[in-house]
Amino acid sequence: MKEMYQSLGVSAGVYEFGEEILRDLRPRFDAIDQVAEYNQAKVLQAMQKNKISAACFAATTGYGYDDVGRERLEQVYADTFHTEAALVRPQITCGTHALAVALSANLLPGDELLSPAGGPYDTLEEVIGIRESPCSLKEYGVSYRQVDLLPDGSFDYETIRTAIHEKTKLVTIQRSKGYATRPSFSVRQIGELIAFCKSIKPDVLVMVDNCYGEFVEPIEPSDVGADMIVGSLIKNPGGGLAPIGGYICGTKHCVERCAYRLSAPGLGQEVGANLGLLPQLYQGFFLAPTVVAGALKGAIFAANLYERLGFRVIPNGTESRHDIIQAVELGSPEAMLAFCQGIQAAAPVDSFVTPVPWAMPGYDAEVVMAAGAFVQGSSIELSADGPIRPPYAVYFQGGLTLSLIHI
Ligand SMILES: *Cc1c(COP(=O)(O)O)cnc(C)c1O
């Protein structure tokens, strides 16, 4: 094995250091496998209940009327996440698009959007209008209010109480830290925050940005009162196989509105050809609990390895996990580039290219991204990225095969 790694450019010393770290992690890996097994059973049950068969994998084109496979896939998502309805579509181009659809479908002029747990993910700044953009919610007369986390990372309940008023229509909560160095929230914490907001205003809607959180815990935010959970299929729930797509799962009322926003008023969920992508969407969802377990193990491995080397890592080596992201504060742009170049060199695709920072649409700083992925930008595949700004942290995630190797 050592020789094999040496031929891949990993020295014997580095290999042994990695093995030493891994040895201590076995008990944690066992606990991760248990969660994966439970979530696998949820997905399996949803597929059996909805009688998935070869007929569900057929391609549709054009309008996509009477697309049984598309309808059943949406029901599988709804049943797995315990929601009334689901919109799962290749026409949703990415996570940002899914979130933008969910927000713009459920907020009307004069309404206010509240983020009670600090700033949202970078790309949502333009969706909301925190940074000006054509077609932002702000342009359509939707106002925005934000309550930052307390210095210790907890929710500022007293300020949240005063921030909820008659115009507050929708509360958005982001499960994963995104490109921030705050902790990610557990589903239980999110449930407490939802209960608090609804105790002040029972009819307020709650949307959870569930990106990178799916299948990390035995329950999802939809099990603790979220009206909508939203995410990307080139992250956790696509299992590495989905080539595109996003999902919105939630109440019938909210999801129906999202479908009208995504297609057109009057058309809604009835249109949207699957273009032959359903086998990958089904199989990816089936594999997702296992793939997420592997990604979690990789994240914990990286945390312990870099912690041992003296870097600040978030979460730290022993903390509980609520998403698959591992932040490592490297302290300089050069170190970020070196890290990303290492990840790129280890990839099955584009291992020979050098990642360089670029002005990615939707971000205010240049972003460097290492992704030698089968699906462009897929971050459930082994990847590392981050905005080139202090504290110069890389966000490391994904990996499709670790669960298969370290059984
Ligand atoms: C990835 C991500 C998004 C959406 O990003 P896309 O690149 O548009 O898929 C939104 N929120 C969080 C927390 C994310 O991690």
In the predicted model, what is the mean pLDDT of residues 139-153?
96
Tell me the CA–centroid distance for residue 293 and ligand 1, in Å: 20
The reply to whether ligand 1 has any atom less than 6 angstroms from the CB of 213 is no
Q: What percent of the chain has pLDDT over 90?
A: 94
Please say whether the beta carbons of 73 and 88 come within 8 A.
Answer: yes
Please say whether the beta carbons of 111 and 216 come within 8 A.
Answer: no
Confidence of residue 334 (pLDDT cuts 50, 70, 90): very high
Task: Note the pLDDT of residue 183.
Answer: 87
Confidence of residue 371 (pLDDT cuts 50, 70, 90): confident
Residue among 94, 242, 253 at smallest CA distance from 170: 253
Residue 251: give its domain's CATH number. 3.40.640.10
Q: Is residue 368 part of a domain?
A: yes
Task: Note the pLDDT of residue 138.
Answer: 98
Q: Of 234, 258, 276, which closes a domain?
A: 276
Give yes or no: residues 245 and 314 share one domain: no
Give yes or no: residues 230 and 262 share one domain: yes
The reply to whether ligand 1 has any atom less than 6 angstroms from the CB of 176 is yes
Q: Position of tokens 């606990």?
A: 31
The reply to whether ligand 1 has any atom less than 6 angstroms from the CB of 83 is no
Task: Note the pLDDT of residue 394.
Answer: 96
Nearest Cα residue to atom 14 of ligand 1: 211
Higher pLDDT, 115 or 403: 115
Q: What percent of the chain has pLDDT over 70?
A: 99
Q: Of 276, 302, 336, which closes a domain?
A: 276
Task: Note the pLDDT of residue 284.
Answer: 98
pLDDT of 405 over the 80 cut? no
Q: Is residue 402 part of a domain?
A: no
In the predicted model, what is the mean pLDDT of residues 153-164?
97
In the predicted model, what is the mean pLDDT of residues 33-52?
98
Nearest Cα residue to atom 3 of ligand 1: 95
Q: Is residue 404 part of a domain?
A: no
Residue among 204, 129, 139, 134 at smallest CA distance from 172: 204
Cis link prior to 391 (omega < 30° from 0)? Answer: yes
Task: Note the pLDDT of residue 181.
Answer: 74
Residue 31: give its domain's CATH number. 3.90.1150.60
Q: How far is CA 72 from CA 57, 210, 326, 354, 403, in A?
A: 10, 22, 34, 42, 28
In the predicted model, what is the mean pLDDT of residues 47-71?
98
Residue 9, classed as helix, strand or coil, is coil
Task: Note the pLDDT of residue 362.
Answer: 78
pLDDT of 220 over the 60 cut? yes
Task: Note the pLDDT of residue 311.
Answer: 96
Give yes or no: residues 249 and 122 share one domain: yes
**pLDDT tens sequence across 65-92:** 999 999 999 999 999 999 999 999 999 9
- Residue 103 to residue 258: CA distance in whole angstroms: 8
- How many separate domains does the chain show? 2
Give yes or no: residues 215 and 106 share one domain: yes
Ligand 1 site-directed mutation target among 182, 210, 211, 381, most atoms within 8 Å of CB: 211
Q: Is residue 326 part of a domain?
A: yes
Q: What value does the mean pLDDT of the chain take?
A: 96
Strand positions, DSSP E, 7-121: 85-89, 112-115
The reply to whether ligand 1 has any atom less than 6 angstroms from the CB of 211 is yes
Task: Note the pLDDT of residue 404.
Answer: 63
Task: Note the pLDDT of residue 25.
Answer: 94
Q: Give one DSSP letter per residue of 306-354, joined into a string.
A: HHHTT-EEES-TTS--SSS-EEEE-SSHHHHHHHHHHHHHTSSSSTTS-
Diameter of the chain by CA atoms? 66
The reply to whether ligand 1 has any atom less than 6 angstroms from the CB of 121 is yes
Q: Is residue 16 part of a domain?
A: yes
Confidence of residue 403 (pLDDT cuts 50, 70, 90): confident
- Residue 149 to residue 157: CA distance in whole angstroms: 9
Give yes or no: residues 138 and 262 share one domain: yes
- Residue 45 to residue 50: CA distance in whole angstroms: 9
pTM above 0.75, yes or no: yes
Give yes or no: residues 132 and 225 share one domain: yes
Task: Note the pLDDT of residue 45.
Answer: 98
Give yes or no: residues 249 and 348 share one domain: no
Tell me the CA–centroid distance for residue 120 and ligand 1, in Å: 10
Question: Which pairing describes strands 112-115 and 205-209: parallel, antiparallel, or unpaired?
Answer: unpaired
Q: Is residue 155 part of a domain?
A: yes
Ligand 1 site-directed mutation target among 128, 232, 248, 367, most atoms within 8 Å of CB: 232
Task: Note the pLDDT of residue 361.
Answer: 83
- Residue 114 to residue 103: CA distance in whole angstroms: 11
In the sheet that 367-371 helps form, which strands lie side by side, from edge to edge?
312-314, 326-329, 393-397, 383-387, 367-371
In the predicted model, what is the mean pLDDT of residues 182-188?
93
Give yes or no: residues 225 and 314 share one domain: no
Give yes or no: residues 238 and 297 share one domain: no
Give yes or no: residues 197 and 269 share one domain: yes
pLDDT of 310 over the 80 cut? yes
Confidence of residue 360 (pLDDT cuts 50, 70, 90): confident
Please say whether the beta carbons of 276 and 90 come within 8 A.
Answer: no
Hey, which residues does 29 pair with through a beta bridge?
none
Give yes or no: residues 203 and 78 share one domain: yes
Q: Which atom of ligand 1 is least distant from the CA of 96?
A: 8
- Residue 293 to residue 242: CA distance in whole angstroms: 17
Tell me the CA–centroid distance for residue 121 and ligand 1, in Å: 7
Q: Is residue 256 part of a domain?
A: yes
**Within its chain, how far is the Cα of 386 from the centroid?**
15
Nearest Cα residue to atom 4 of ligand 1: 95
Tell me the CA–centroid distance for residue 326 and ligand 1, in Å: 15
- The range of the structural domain enclosing residue 12 comes to 2-41+284-397
Confidence of residue 365 (pLDDT cuts 50, 70, 90): confident
Residue among 75, 81, 86, 68 at smallest CA distance from 49: 75
pLDDT of 407 over the 80 cut? no
Q: Of 276, 299, 318, which closes a domain?
A: 276
Q: Is residue 159 part of a domain?
A: yes
pLDDT of 179 over the 90 cut? no
Give yes or no: residues 136 and 159 share one domain: yes
Task: Note the pLDDT of residue 391.
Answer: 92
Nearest Cα residue to atom 13 of ligand 1: 178
Which amino acid does the sequence have at 369? M
Nearest Cα residue to atom 9 of ligand 1: 95
Task: Note the pLDDT of residue 270.
Answer: 96
